[in-house]
Amino acid sequence: MRGDAKGLLEPFRPEPFPGGRLGDGLRAVNRWRDAEAGLMTSVRYGWRVEESGVDVAFYIVGDDAEFMTTHLDDFDAYARTLFLRPL
């Protein structure tokens, strides 16, 4: 998970994100100003799945900060349903 986007309004702070089908991971909520779109919000999730040897990232980005904040629990619930299907 990277936190070097230009225009971040606060420092990038990944937090532990426990549980879910991918195991424990990280989550970060960020806000920044975009020259064209205005205030943007992203919710980023990341997992290292050791048994598969892969990193998994899931992003939700929107230009409505109130919507993004209001639905954070819904985004978390959905993120906990993600899984890797063996090939």
The model's pLDDT over 26-43, given as tens digits with 9 standing for 90+, comes to: 999 999 887 777 889 999
pLDDT averaged over every residue in the chain: 90
pTM attached to this predicted model: 0.85
**Domain spans of the chain, in order of start:** 15-79
Measured from the Cβ of residue 32, the count of other Cβ atoms closer than 10 Å reads: 15
| Residue whose C-alpha is closest to residue 20's, from 85, 87, 76 | 76
* pLDDT value at 1 more than 80: no
Contact by Cβ (8 Å): 37, 63: yes
